[in-house]
Structure 1
Amino acid sequence: MLTEQRKRHLLSLLKQDGRIVAKSVAAGLGLSEDTIRRDLRELAAEGLLQRVHGGALPASPAVGTLATRLSIGAADKAAIGRYAASMIRPGQTVFVDGGTTAMQLVNHLDHRLMATIVTHSPLVAGALADHAVDVLLIGGKLFKHSMVSVGVAALRAVSEIRPDIFFMGVTGVHPTAGLTTGDPEEAAMKRAIADTAAELVVMASSEKIGAASHFVIAPIERTDILITPAGTDQDSSTQFTALGVDVRRV
């Protein structure tokens, strides 16, 4: 089997099974594991999959540019944002992450709600300018990919806040790979906020379910509530539920 044929076969298996086990594929094709691992490395370099120990998982498309991400799963993100916004109660202090799904939360927030919104996203803060909520904007080094503050100053500010809920965005949600994102500083920021929040609510559109990125935020079991589209695969939802996650398909 030629290299390109093998790669097409690997991508077909990934689409069909949601994962690749290098040892099993090598045995099935009568090839060495080194050959399959080399193919996986090259496919990962093209952004077509995410390598993990022993094989590969689907790569999240949510690591693209902000403009690209705005066009992915727009209806799903609107539904998630609407549901997330309905969870916020008067008087609460909540932390809203950056990203396209977080912007949908803001778009569906009751303008009259009296609460405190903490965010490290200048886009989220700006969108709340005509709302009744108090807005606390965390500063730091601007990570332009997601338009959020990261770094030492941002982490220090976060350590002094105890939000009732953290509405977190991710690029990947997987039962074994956990909650992941594409940048180490962003992962550290999300982890720090999650560690101080009373409740962690993860907002994940369908393309992020079963996918993985390079940097781990936390194990999936750390999630209190996972908000995902109504069309999310039932088997995936069952896997998360079995791990103690409250899955809300909206």
Structure 2
Amino acid sequence: MHADERRDAIVEVVRAQGPATVAELVSRLGLSEATIRRDLVKLDDAGLLRRVHGGARPLDVRDDVYADLAERQAGPKEAIAAAAAAQVADGQAVLLDIGTTVGRVAKYLRGRQVTVITRNLAVFAELAEDPTVELILLGGAVRPAHRSLVGYLTEEALRQLHADVLLLGTSGVRRSGHCVDTVSDEVGVKRAMIAAADRVVLLADASKFPGSGTATICDATSYHHLISDEAPEPETRAALDRAGVSLQLV
């Protein structure tokens, strides 16, 4: 069983039965205790469940997933966000994806002569009262835990719009350079964002190599520039080079 399949199976068990001990997961899935413990760390980091003493529990309404994720890798995310804002020139239209790294970009765009198109509700909250930024909020179904909009209405709105730059988030970057997500509903929206932009800049801190997720968004030929805090391992770097992706380390 591949790592992604294992972790998906763990999440399914925990969501179906509620809190589960490591021993229960070992018995249900036929995996070693060490593997289960490592996977629980990864899944907790990805905001897919909560790791507790001796096991894991599903997320509930008391969990502020976005705030929790925003605190993780805070330093690298801040540096990546600042560098990403510099990729946007005055007078341009920029698409801002969801996610806590992209969400940090908004404050670096305050007061600038730019058009911001987004489905990121954290970005909307940051820029809603800015008198200089032209702000366009895409429609769609609200995902409160991720402070985002998603779905058919979001995709339809994107088909009517054009951006100079897309700042794209991701749950993980595979060694092949493929971007993945943990939520299949994100696939259509992210692909529509890519199609709507002239240039795609991927924002991914070191934890996103390989990150988590089984829903494939795009391959490395779909983005042009990658901003990260650490260089990816050689196989991933070679895939990026073949696709012509430039790498910026912060």
Instruction: Give the TM-score band, short-chain normalised.
Output: 0.7 to 0.9
1:60–1:211: 8 Å Cα contact kept in structure 2? no
Describe the shift of the 1:80–1:99 C-alpha distance in structure 2 as closer, same or farther (beyond 3 A): same
Describe the shift of the 1:43–1:151 C-alpha distance in structure 2 as closer, same or farther (beyond 3 A): farther
Alignment map for 1:39-78 (pairs within 5 Å): 39=31, 48=39, 61-64=45-48, 65-78=65-78
How big is the shift at 1:68?
2.2
* AA at the equivalent of 2:209: I
Describe the shift of the 1:183–1:176 C-alpha distance in structure 2 as closer, same or farther (beyond 3 A): same
How big is the shift at 1:61?
3.1
CA distance in 2, matches of 1:238, 1:248: 15
How big is the shift at 1:48?
1.1
- Hey, what does 1:181 align to over in structure 2? 181
* AA at the equivalent of 1:80: I
Counterpart check, 1:220 vs 2:220: yes
Q: Which has the larger radius of gyration?
A: 1
* AA at the equivalent of 1:62: A
CA deviations 1:135-180 (Å, max 9, x no partner) are: 0001110122321111111111111111111101111011327101
Provide structure 2 residue ranges, at least 5 long, that are not aligned to the other structure: 4-28, 49-64
* AA at the equivalent of 1:122: L
CA distance in 1, matches of 2:46, 2:204: 10
Q: TM-score, normalised by structure 1?
A: 0.73
- Hey, what does 2:118 align to over in structure 1? 119
CA distance in 2, matches of 1:200, 1:71: 25
Runs of 4+ in 1 over 4 A off after TM superposition: none
Provide structure 1 residue ranges, at least 5 long, that are not aligned to the other structure: 1-9, 12-36, 50-57
CA distance in 2, matches of 1:145, 1:186: 14
Alignment map for 1:40-189 (pairs within 5 Å): 48=39, 61-64=45-48, 65-109=65-109, 111-131=110-130, 132-176=132-176, 178-189=178-189
Alignment map for 1:193-208 (pairs within 5 Å): 193-208=193-208
CA distance in 1, matches of 2:175, 2:208: 12
Instruction: Give the fraction of aligned pairs with identical amino acids, expressed as a percent.
Output: 23
1:94–1:164: 8 Å Cα contact kept in structure 2? yes
Root-mean-square deviation (Å): 2.8
1:158–1:192: 8 Å Cα contact kept in structure 2? yes
Describe the shift of the 1:61–1:166 C-alpha distance in structure 2 as closer, same or farther (beyond 3 A): same
2:177–2:240: 8 Å Cα contact kept in structure 1? no
Describe the shift of the 1:217–1:173 C-alpha distance in structure 2 as closer, same or farther (beyond 3 A): same
How many residues align? The count is: 205
2:177–2:239: 8 Å Cα contact kept in structure 1? no
* AA at the equivalent of 2:46: A
